[in-house]
Amino acid sequence: MSQHTVAQPRTVGLTAASPSGWWRDAVIYQVYPRSFADSNGDGMGDLEGIRTRLPHLKELGVDAVWLSPFYESPQADAGYDVADYRAVAPMFGSLLDADALIRDAHALGLRIIVDVVPNHVSDQHTWFRQAVQEGPGSPLRRRFHFRPGKGEDGELPPNDWESIFGGPAWSRVTEPDGTPGEWYLHLFAPEQPDLNWEHPAVDDEFRSILRFWLDMGIDGFRVDVAHGLVKAAGLPDIGTRDQLKLLGNDAMPFFDQDGVHEIYRGWRKVVAEYGDDRVLVAEAWTPTVERTALYVRPDELHQAFNFHYLSTYWDADELRDVIDGSLDAMRPVGAPTTWVLSNHDVTRHTTRFANPPGLGTQIGTEGDVRLGLRRARAATLLMLALPGSAYLFQGEELGLPDVVSLPDEVRQDPSFHRANGQDGFRDGCRVPLPWTVGGSSYGFGSGGSWLPQPEDWGGLSVEAQTGEPGSTLEFYRMALAIRHEHSALGAGESVEWLHAPAGVLAFCRIAEDGQRFVCTANTTKDPVSLPVYGQILLASETAGIRVSESQAVLPPDSTIWWTG
Ligand code: NOJ
């Protein structure tokens, strides 16, 4: 069995032949600024830290970098509570640092996507502070959802909506005269008041914010809670408790309302003023892939995260259903399908797959760590063979597991504290990255790290894995290099399924030049026998592969790329 040797990854130049479509099959790497690299020793990652580590991303072979928020913010929700959309929080640096980061990334051929948070602002945002100070009847209150309370003295919230982070979705303000007053809506933490998108000033402000960052040279936006901006008229009661359990499955009066699409038609025009290679990516949790497809119609956003894929377990039947469903849903609107396994809001896929199915995307137990990593590598190889764009979350290239042992007192996720730990394990995937085998915070920075790193973190570091045959880092580098080299990977809008035994996926892609490419994924715990599909390009697990003239044995929980 010979493994393909890969030269250097293709240079991803910004002047590529078809710049308008770079995002269609791009591999986009999410950087979580707090936890990537700390340049000034304050224990918190920053923009300068990211800039100095860009060569790692270049060498990894990704096309673009998505940065989670680094704006001025009191950090009630790790920066998703923005106080000033045009300023960088001092803990992350300055606008000059942002400029240097964007320029350096471009010089390396890496594109930069930034987060925009339009559903809510921080309670420290000038608009909200003034709205509270000016009291009931202030025109500024109309930019938010202020309402009088129910009950004799207005002591009850205006409706029964629950916050995504637990507890009621309403908080009551104290009016300037010191009396308990109106209530305001916050789908997330109380420090994140929801904006009223019916108000023209809100729309104007966000078009201006988009332009500000487009003028800074960024290549696109990831739109936070893209499905939440418009609320059902009259803010009707839902009528049930435990509404968190309904999310993603049922129609909710505060999510996925048809009115959001008009907003994105406007945004598309703004972005189009800057040419056709700046992109808008929706974070839209919807009940079905068909509903997700509505966000990426030709005059709306360019891409939407495929959370249906992210929520799927390592199971051949379920994976095939979601792959077919996603491709079928996107084809009519002409948008590329996207694929994602991990991000800053869910338990890393290494840990999800280390645990039994049915536990969802927030898991607090480490499970079978070796099995989890093995399946995670197999799942990554499967994902990178699918047509469309793929999103990676920092640290998955190191095979990092979620850190499930964090003591409660160090956790910062507001959902952990508001939901009594029920559904708030997001700190576990946010632990700062290990860069070196030893040293302070394993090379993350010189002053420790804002969340404690486990003691064995050095063995998973970039330094430990670089040049190490079979390491997860070298495996990712090779997979991305091959993906760039073989046009059949990532391109197109469908896969041709091949006959395969239960628990196994096998599909074929044909490149424009006629080259045939096959991906086989064995999701079972047993070896399986399949026809030989040509030469092996890459395998997520080499031990146990046996190839005779016509038959090959695939190891359990593994994926293989073939060509020929
Ligand atoms: C989605 C973001 O990914 C998450 O981290 C954040 O807490 C919520 N939106 C609220 O902004």
Neighbours of 493 (CB within 10 A): 15
What angle, rounded to 10 degrees, do the helices at 472-485 and 369-383 form? 10
Rg (CA), the chain: 24
The torsion region of residue 251 among left (phi > 0), alpha (psi -120 to 50) and beta comes to beta
In this prediction, residues 57-78 reach a mean pLDDT of 98
Residue 19: the pLDDT is 34
| 3-state SS assignment for residue 148 | coil
Q: Where are the alpha helices (DSSP H) in 359-450?
A: 369-383, 414-418
Report the nearest-CA residue for atom 5 of ligand 1: 345
CA distance 232 to 168: 18
Q: Which residue, 475, 564, 492, 561, is CA-closest to 520?
A: 561
Where residue 4 falls among pLDDT bands split at 50, 70, 90?
A: very low
In this prediction, residues 42-64 reach a mean pLDDT of 98
Model confidence pLDDT, tens digit, residues 170-189: 999 999 999 999 999 999 99
CA distance 461 to 442: 7
CA distance 222 to 224: 6
Report the nearest-CA residue for atom 2 of ligand 1: 224
C-alpha dihedral sign at 4, 8, 12, 17: negative
In this prediction, residues 109-115 reach a mean pLDDT of 98
* Largest distance between two CA atoms of the chain: 85
Residue type, 95: L
Ligand 1 atom nearest residue 187's Cα: 10
Report the nearest-CA residue for atom 6 of ligand 1: 80
Residue 175: the pLDDT is 97
Ligand 1 atom nearest residue 415's Cα: 7
CA distance 334 to 336: 7
CA distance 488 to 286: 30
Model confidence pLDDT, tens digit, residues 230-272: 999 999 999 988 887 777 777 899 999 999 999 999 999 999 9
| 3-state SS assignment for residue 525 | coil
Residue 294: the pLDDT is 97
Ligand 1 atom nearest residue 119's Cα: 11
CA distance 505 to 386: 12
Residue 16: the pLDDT is 35
Ligand 1 atom nearest residue 68's Cα: 3
Q: Which residue, 48, 46, 26, 213, is CA-closest to 116?
A: 213
Report the nearest-CA residue for atom 11 of ligand 1: 80
Q: Read off the pTM.
A: 0.95
How far is the CA of 39 from the CAs of 45, 46, 90, 459, in angstroms? 7, 7, 13, 22
Model confidence pLDDT, tens digit, residues 499-555: 999 999 999 998 878 889 999 999 999 999 999 999 999 999 999 999 998 999 999
Residue 200 pLDDT more than 50? Answer: yes
Where residue 6 falls among pLDDT bands split at 50, 70, 90?
A: very low
In this prediction, residues 345-350 reach a mean pLDDT of 97
Q: Kind and range of the H or E element at 310?
A: helix 307-310
Residue 435 pLDDT more than 60? Answer: yes
Report the nearest-CA residue for atom 10 of ligand 1: 80
| 3-state SS assignment for residue 317 | helix
Q: Which residue, 119, 336, 321, is CA-closest to 231?
A: 119
Residues of the chain above pLDDT 90, percent: 87
CA distance 441 to 502: 45
Model confidence pLDDT, tens digit, residues 298-343: 999 999 999 999 999 999 999 999 999 999 999 999 999 999 999 9
Residue 380 pLDDT more than 80? Answer: yes
What's the gap in Å between 249 CA and the centre of ligand 1? 19
Report the nearest-CA residue for atom 4 of ligand 1: 345
Residues of the chain above pLDDT 70, percent: 95
Q: Where do we find the tokens 């979601």?
A: 322
Q: Which residue, 399, 411, 420, 423, is CA-closest to 450?
A: 411
Residue 216 pLDDT more than 90? Answer: yes
Mean pLDDT of the chain: 93
Q: Which two tokens stand for residue 14?
A: 């910004």
Residue type, 357: P
DSSP 94-117: -HHHHHHHHHHHHHTT-EEEEEE-
Residue 422: the pLDDT is 52
Residue 460: the pLDDT is 98
E-assigned strands of 131-285? 146-147, 170-174, 180-185, 220-223, 279-282
Q: Kind and range of the H or E element at 518?
A: strand 516-522
Ligand 1 binding pocket (C-beta < 6 A) is 77, 80, 117, 188, 224-225, 283, 344-345
What's the gap in Å between 379 CA and the centre of ligand 1? 25
Where residue 60 falls among pLDDT bands split at 50, 70, 90?
A: very high
555 contacts 527 by C-beta, under 8 angstroms:
yes
Report the nearest-CA residue for atom 3 of ligand 1: 345
Using most ligand atoms within 8 A of CB, pick from 188, 244, 416 the residue to mutate for ligand 1: 188
CA distance 545 to 520: 12
Angle value at C-alpha 510, between 507 and 511, nearest 5 degrees: 140
Residue 76: the pLDDT is 96
Where residue 7 falls among pLDDT bands split at 50, 70, 90?
A: very low
What's the gap in Å between 138 CA and the centre of ligand 1? 29
Residue 2: the pLDDT is 36
What's the gap in Å between 253 CA and the centre of ligand 1? 19
303 contacts 389 by C-beta, under 8 angstroms:
yes
Neighbours of 455 (CB within 10 A): 7
Q: Which residue, 253, 339, 325, is CA-closest to 291?
A: 325
CA distance 345 to 70: 16
Residue type, 186: H
What's the gap in Å between 224 CA and the centre of ligand 1? 7
CA distance 308 to 196: 28
Using most ligand atoms within 8 A of CB, pick from 32, 68, 80, 412 the residue to mutate for ligand 1: 80
Residue 3 pLDDT more than 70? Answer: no
Angle value at C-alpha 47, between 389 and 195, nearest 5 degrees: 70
Residue 511: the pLDDT is 82
